Amino acid sequence: MKKNRILSLFLSMVLGASLLSVPALAAANPSTAAEGEVIQEVEDHQTASADQSQIIADMHVDAGSAILVDADTGEILYEQDAHTKRYPASITKVMTCLLTLEAVDRGELSLEDVVTASGSLHAGIGENASTADIKEGEQLRVIDLLYAALIPSANEACNVLAETVSGSVDAFVDLMNQRAAELGMTGTHFANTHGYHDDDHYTTAYDIYLMSAEAMKYETFRTIVSSKNYTMPATNMHEERIVRSTNGLISTFNVTGYWYEYAIGVKTGYTPEAGYCLSAAAEKNGKMLISVVMDCTRVEGTTGSEGFTYFSETVRLLNWGFSNFSQQVILDDSAMDFPEIAVTLSKEADYVTVHPSGALTITLPDDVDITSFERVVDCPETVEAPVEAGQVLGKVTMTYNGQEYGSLDLVANSAVERSELLYRLDQIQKFFSQLWVRVVLIVLAVVIVILILRALIFGKRRSSARSRYSGRRRR
């Protein structure tokens, strides 16, 4: 019996010690206490100036809305009411031709397919609309219809393309709105295929940039919108005809004084309600820019080729972009001054250093000092060994004036091996840290204590009983 008591006391002491050791182990090994915690640290090498670039501050475009974008990177260089909803007029035709080229790309039709203009070719088109004189029953190739829509801005060509792609104009307009949503054109709603005025037909300068950039990915589209003129072959109802570009940056046939040597597109637009609009693309020294101006007015009292501000302001905006912006590296893998990250479960090292993976190159105004960018570092306070060289341990984001300009992964500079002893001890500590294990241990401890107390109580009773029994026998 004494042996059983001693064994019970020993077990209770071990279990009690194990319960008390759990918080002690947790305190001694920070890998569990800090695991999952994330710190966000801002390193101010030189705090970014609160003042905006003077180059940008001094710029203003004589237009209701304007935007200038680096087409290669998608970076917005300048914007002015770029998300205000306005009427796009014939710039709408960019979406119509984009959808047609996408259908060709899917193999649903070809550029050489011959289609017949139906009685719906003038749907939604009022008087004085631009036209290529396409007639009902006329048979034309898809490629000729694309040129007619984009070069002389023929409204009826858009309706013929719509029926060719979707079977009906209405179904095609639904497709236009669906594609606009897919492209992120959140300020856009199309009511027709060509842009003839409708109060429910609107978009924004930013949205026009989105669809123009998408359309410019197609070589056929780029070839068409950069063409000064195009000869449409004879059809069953028409002799050979030459159509000429309405874009004064491309062609001097309609207006002179705006030709721009770097221009490669895109599309003009005008209605009394929309004003003068232009989506333009230009390439210079390997850089491509896309600009959009909307709701421009003609200089009052001008005649002939004078006063078309949507051309002159576009040229000024593009020249400004080419002259005042350049690509600069704001962070690369040579940067090493980042916080050390503590490493647990290793005997060979208690920290690891990190560096950025790759480089961040962005287009910036030439008067912006790249050392004024801030680094926002996001990484764990500690990591567990093993750590591999090149392992992603965090992220660094570059900001300027509160705007993010990109992020890079932070990777380990060296490897750190794990100590198997420390790892096993950590596994034991984690096991005993689990709530269900603690509950089981507490229940066992209580049971053992009860058993010990019961044994002690019953032991005393048996001892007393034996004493009394012995006394009676002696008498």
In a domain, 42, yes or no: yes
**What Å distances lie between residue 103 and 75, 100, 158, CA to CA?**
29, 5, 14
More confident of the two residues 444 and 469: 444
Identify whether residues 241 and 200 lie together within a single domain. Answer: yes
E strands, 142-286, in order: 229-232, 241-244, 263-271, 275-284
Residue 9 has pLDDT above 50, yes or no: no
Provide the 8-state DSSP code for 370: G
What is residue 16's predicted lDDT score, i.e. its pLDDT?
46
Count the Cβ atoms, other than its own, within 10 Å of residue 61.
22
* pLDDT tier at 421, thresholds 50, 70, 90: low
Residue 194 has pLDDT above 70, yes or no: yes
Average pLDDT over residues 79-103: 98
Identify whether residues 288 and 171 lie together within a single domain. Answer: yes
53-80 pLDDT, tens digit per residue, is 899 999 999 999 999 999 999 999 999 9
Choice among 41-45, 84-88, 240-244, 400-404 with the minimum mean pLDDT: 41-45
Identify whether residues 200 and 283 lie together within a single domain. Answer: yes
261-320 pLDDT, tens digit per residue, is 999 999 999 999 999 999 999 999 999 999 999 999 999 999 999 999 999 999 999 999
For residue 126, give the 3-state DSSP assignment: coil
What is residue 316's predicted lDDT score, i.e. its pLDDT?
98
In a domain, 302, yes or no: no
Identify whether residues 472 and 371 lie together within a single domain. Answer: no
Q: Which helix (H) or strand (E) is 76 found in, with range?
A: strand 75-80
Identify whether residues 23 and 38 lie together within a single domain. Answer: no
In which domain, by residue range, is 350 found?
A: 34-51+329-420
Residues identified as active-site: 90, 93, 153
In a domain, 178, yes or no: yes
What is residue 425's predicted lDDT score, i.e. its pLDDT?
63
Identify whether residues 42 and 6 lie together within a single domain. Answer: no
- CATH code of the domain covering residue 415: 2.60.410.10
In a domain, 74, yes or no: no
User: What is the token pair recorded at 156?
Assistant: 């009826």
In a domain, 216, yes or no: yes
What is residue 30's predicted lDDT score, i.e. its pLDDT?
36
In a domain, 365, yes or no: yes
d(CA 69, CA 289): 6
Cis peptide, bond prior to residue 266, ω within 30 of zero:
yes
Identify whether residues 143 and 276 lie together within a single domain. Answer: yes
**What Å distances lie between residue 63 and 286, 303, 312, CA to CA?**
28, 20, 11
pTM exceeds cut of 0.85: no
Identify whether residues 122 and 231 lie together within a single domain. Answer: yes
Choice among 27-31, 112-116, 467-471 with the minimum mean pLDDT: 27-31
What is residue 283's predicted lDDT score, i.e. its pLDDT?
98
- CATH code of the domain covering residue 239: 3.40.710.10
Count the Cβ atoms, other than its own, within 10 Å of residue 174.
13
3-class SS string, 144-160:
HHHHHHHCCCCHHHHHH
When the pLDDT of each residue in the chain is averaged and rounded to a whole number, the result is 86
Give the residues across from 114 on adjacent strands: 141
Q: How many domains does the chain have?
A: 3
What is residue 204's predicted lDDT score, i.e. its pLDDT?
98
250-266 pLDDT, tens digit per residue, is 999 999 999 999 999 99
What is residue 418's predicted lDDT score, i.e. its pLDDT?
75
Rg (CA), the chain: 38
Percent of the chain past pLDDT 70, that is, above it, reads 83
Identify whether residues 291 and 403 lie together within a single domain. Answer: no
In a domain, 445, yes or no: yes
Count the Cβ atoms, other than its own, within 10 Å of residue 325.
24
β-strand 382-384 against 287-296: which pairing, if any? unpaired
401 φψ region: left (φ > 0), alpha (ψ -120 to 50), beta (else): left
Provide the 8-state DSSP code for 69: E
- Which distant-in-sequence residues (6+ apart) come within 8 Å of 311 by Cβ? 248, 249, 255, 258, 278
Q: With b meaning 16 or more CB within 10 Å and e meaning fewer, what string describes 387-418?
A: beeebebbebbbbbeeeebbbbbbbbeeebeb
Identify whether residues 138 and 207 lie together within a single domain. Answer: yes
Identify whether residues 111 and 253 lie together within a single domain. Answer: yes
In a domain, 5, yes or no: yes
Average pLDDT over residues 158-177: 98
Identify whether residues 19 and 41 lie together within a single domain. Answer: no
Q: What angle do CA 164, 270, 150 make, to 5 degrees?
A: 35
